């Protein structure tokens, strides 16, 4: 096991080339905060991107930032905040969920295509990833995309990199689109709704012209873990200039009834916890799934799962398009509930990812939704094209790929 720490793209290319020549595999890592995400790897060496760090260029008026991938996300956030800007896709901090420490970096955030409660309104990391330079598994240095916010020159390889978990190339420089921070924010809380009614309400709110930028439904027990009284909680976030928020909050209350409001700092903390999956954390002996179904079927999906596994807990990060599910590991059985969850999802479409489980479990169970044969064949050919030796993050997404 060798720790390789390239200082630039040229050195990284040489290292990857060397690994190829040795038929050795590399685990790509930077801050090490997402080591527990995906399948466990058995790589021969570690390719540590921590030295590939630092902001290269930031032009607030152009809405564009270029940085090296090992730059800590907190540094990027602080830099943007000083200019009244932000990462609009609200990358969640999953360190507690994944029970690892480390320091989330920009590169890891993009490679795992993170997104938060603003997913519906703004998009995921993929939607803000404008360009990059990288090194593929053949040790070839290349670039794709651009450093401007609007570009269709050539194939959009940024999309291919986002969510490829480092299995196709090492990123050595990335360019992202940044957005202004909303002037103000508030969150409306509506207590006491059952899932079905809450999902109907959230759909109505999101379809209304009142620009709801996040929505969530917490059953009573998960709500209590966030420090709220013993009742289910439906939350709707509004962002924008203060007069606009005041108007829209009134309009929503006319439609859906009134409840307590969280002011801007409270709202920020609340949605950060939703992104972090805080309502289902710190439960010993449980596994956590992230379900991405077509929105309207979610209550039915959850009911089907609860029927089979009464000890399951859940909440809806609704504008994130997600249902988070926690299962008792003992009840869920040796497959961590994979067959239960995926069978329940199958009639509706969508996908489920096993997020938090022991290493042994993640090795045995398909962490990411299995792909049908024609799609799996495309995946294999793409991997083969970019990384024919299987040098980069072996087995991170799929067994043998």
Tell me which residue of 68, 134, 154, 156 sits closest to 387, measured CA to CA: 134
Rule CB under 8 A: choose which of 65, 67, 206, 344 binds other proteins. 206
Q: Which of residues 211-240 bind other proteins (CB under 8 A)?
A: 211, 240
Measured in whole angstroms, the distance separating CA 243 from the mean position of its chain's CA atoms is: 32
CB of 310 to other proteins, least distance (A): 26
Is 106 among the residues that bind other proteins (CB under 8 A)?
no
Rule CB under 8 A: choose which of 1, 82, 254, 330 binds other proteins. 1
Judged by beta carbon, residue 38 or residue 219, the one nearer other proteins is 38
C-alpha pair distances (Å), 45 with each of 41, 48, 181, 207: 11, 9, 40, 50
DSSP string, 52-100: S-SEEEEEGGGTEEEE-TTSBHHHHHHHHHHTTEE-TT-----TTTTT-
Is 248 among the residues that bind other proteins (CB under 8 A)?
yes
Judged by beta carbon, residue 257 or residue 385, the one nearer other proteins is 385
Judged by beta carbon, residue 14 or residue 266, the one nearer other proteins is 14
CB of 360 to other proteins, least distance (A): 22
- Determine the Cα–Cα distance for residues 12 and 49; give it in Å rounded to an integer: 9
What lies within 8 Å, CB to CB, of 177 at 6+ separation is 63, 64, 88, 128, 130, 149
Judged by beta carbon, residue 12 or residue 53, the one nearer other proteins is 12
Rule CB under 8 A: choose which of 3, 82, 254, 330 binds other proteins. 3
Number of shown-chain residues binding other proteins (CB under 8 A): 103
- Determine the Cα–Cα distance for residues 249 and 226; give it in Å rounded to an integer: 23
- Token duo for residue 230: 């013993």
* Window contacting other proteins (CB under 8 A); options: 69-77, 134-142, 261-269, 270-278: 134-142
Q: Tokens 């760090």 identify what position?
A: 53
CB of 309 to other proteins, least distance (A): 22
Q: Which of residues 162-181 bind other proteins (CB under 8 A)?
A: 162-164, 168, 179-181
Rule CB under 8 A: choose which of 261, 351, 363, 364 binds other proteins. 351
Judged by beta carbon, residue 155 or residue 229, the one nearer other proteins is 155
- Determine the Cα–Cα distance for residues 336 and 354; give it in Å rounded to an integer: 8
Burial of 261 (0-12, 13-18, 19+ CB in 10 A): middle
Burial of 122 (0-12, 13-18, 19+ CB in 10 A): buried
The angle subtended at Cα 11 by Cα 7 and Cα 16, nearest 5°, is: 120
Is 264 among the residues that bind other proteins (CB under 8 A)?
no
* Window contacting other proteins (CB under 8 A); options: 224-232, 274-282, 327-335, 347-355: 347-355
- Determine the Cα–Cα distance for residues 335 and 158; give it in Å rounded to an integer: 33
- Determine the Cα–Cα distance for residues 177 and 148; give it in Å rounded to an integer: 8
Is 398 among the residues that bind other proteins (CB under 8 A)?
yes
Rule CB under 8 A: choose which of 260, 333, 334, 385 binds other proteins. 385
Judged by beta carbon, residue 88 or residue 228, the one nearer other proteins is 88
Judged by beta carbon, residue 223 or residue 325, the one nearer other proteins is 325
Residue pair 161/126 in contact (Cβ under 8 Å)? The answer is: no
Is 378 among the residues that bind other proteins (CB under 8 A)?
yes
Judged by beta carbon, residue 296 or residue 311, the one nearer other proteins is 296
Measured in whole angstroms, the distance separating CA 293 from the mean position of its chain's CA atoms is: 15
Rule CB under 8 A: choose which of 55, 220, 264, 382 binds other proteins. 382
Q: Tokens 């997600």 identify what position?
A: 322
Rule CB under 8 A: choose which of 4, 73, 98, 233 binds other proteins. 4
CB of 284 to other proteins, least distance (A): 28
* Window contacting other proteins (CB under 8 A); options: 34-42, 69-77, 257-265, 290-298: 290-298
Judged by beta carbon, residue 17 or residue 226, the one nearer other proteins is 17
User: Which residues make beta-bridge pairs with 86?
Assistant: 179
Residue pair 125/89 in contact (Cβ under 8 Å)? The answer is: yes
- Determine the Cα–Cα distance for residues 228 and 265; give it in Å rounded to an integer: 16
Judged by beta carbon, residue 155 or residue 307, the one nearer other proteins is 155
Is 151 among the residues that bind other proteins (CB under 8 A)?
yes
Tell me which residue of 272, 374, 279 sits closest to 325, measured CA to CA: 279
Rule CB under 8 A: choose which of 150, 282, 284, 346 binds other proteins. 150
User: Which residues make beta-bridge pairs with 262?
Assistant: 187
């Amino acid at each position: 096991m060798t720790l390789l720490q390239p200082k630039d793209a040229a050195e990284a290319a040489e290292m990857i080339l060397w690994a190829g020549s040795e038929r050795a595999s590399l685990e790509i890592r930077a801050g090490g905060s997402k080591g527990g995400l995906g399948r466990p790897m058995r790589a021969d060496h570690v390719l540590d991107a921590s030295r590939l760090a630092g902001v290269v260029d930031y032009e607030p008026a152009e809405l564009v930032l270029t940085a090296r991938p090992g730059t800590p996300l907190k540094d990027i956030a602080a830099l943007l905040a000083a200019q009244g800007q932000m990462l609009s896709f609200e990358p969640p901090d999953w360190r507690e969920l994944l029970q690892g420490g480390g320091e989330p970096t920009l590169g890891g955030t993009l490679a795992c295509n993170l997104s938060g409660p603003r997913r519906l309104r703004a998009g995921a990391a993929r939607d803000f990833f404008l360009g990059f330079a990288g090194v593929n598994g053949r040790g070839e240095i290349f670039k794709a995309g651009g450093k401007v916010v609007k570009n269709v020159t050539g194939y959009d390889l940024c999309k291919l990199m986002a969510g490829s978990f480092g299995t196709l190339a090492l990123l050595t420089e990335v360019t992202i689109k940044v957005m202004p921070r909303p002037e103000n924010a508030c969150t409306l809380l509506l207590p006491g709704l059952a899932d079905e009614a809450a999902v109907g309400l959230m759909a109505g709110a999101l379809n209304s012209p009142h620009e709801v930028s996040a929505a969530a439904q917490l059953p009573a027990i998960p709500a209590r873990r966030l420090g709220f009284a013993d009742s289910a909680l439906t939350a709707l976030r509004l962002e924008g200039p203060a007069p606009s928020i005041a108007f829209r909050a009134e309009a929503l209350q006319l439609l859906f009834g009134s409840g307590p409001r969280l002011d801007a700092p409270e709202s920020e903390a609340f949605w950060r916890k939703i992104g972090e999956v805080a309502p289902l954390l710190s439960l010993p002996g449980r596994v956590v799934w992230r379900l991405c179904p077509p929105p309207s079927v979610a209550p039915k999906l959850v009911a089907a799962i609860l029927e089979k596994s009464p000890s399951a807990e859940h909440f809806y990060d609704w504008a994130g398009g997600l249902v988070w599910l926690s299962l008792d590991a003992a009840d869920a059985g040796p497959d961590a509930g994979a067959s239960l969850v995926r069978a329940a999802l199958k009639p509706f479409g969508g996908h489920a990812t096993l997020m938090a489980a022991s290493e042994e479990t993640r090795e045995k169970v398909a962490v990411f939704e299995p792909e049908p044969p024609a799609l799996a064949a495309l995946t294999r050919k793409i991997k083969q094209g970019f990384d024919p030796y299987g040098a980069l993050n072996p087995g991170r997404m799929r067994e043998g790929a």
